[in-house]
């Protein structure tokens, strides 16, 4: 089970890389993990979880992401945009 914990953590780091302001706190990271880990496993698991290729894969397959994952990413991206203003 330690492997799954590592996977969730690295997926969160990868998703956080999609926007510099995403997942700045543990609660935000947990939401991204919950909403997007399945998408990583389904769409981008051929790449190391913390690699730039995963970020590229998520961007390229945005239309294939689950609605919950897209919503989570959009929420954190817009929240980060508001913080930078």
Integer Cα distance of 45 and 85 in angstroms? 35
**8 A C-beta contact, residue 15 and residue 36:** yes
pLDDT at position 2 is 47
CA angle 76, 5, 39 (to 5 degrees): 50
The domain ranges of the chain are: 2-84
Residue pair 12/33 in contact by the 8 Å Cβ criterion: yes
Tens digit of each residue's pLDDT (9 = 90 or more) over 7-66? 555 565 555 555 544 456 788 778 888 999 999 999 999 998 778 898 899 999 999 999
């Amino acid at each position: 089970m330690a492997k799954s914990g590592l996977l969730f953590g690295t997926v969160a780091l990868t998703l956080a890389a999609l926007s510099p302001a995403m997942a700045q706190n543990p609660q935000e990271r947990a939401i991204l993990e919950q909403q997007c880990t399945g998408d990583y496993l389904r769409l981008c698991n051929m790449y190391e979880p913390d690699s730039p290729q995963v970020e590229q894969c998520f961007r390229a397959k945005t239309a294939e992401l689950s609605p919950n994952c897209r919503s989570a990413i959009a929420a954190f991206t817009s929240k980060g945009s508001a913080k930078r203003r």
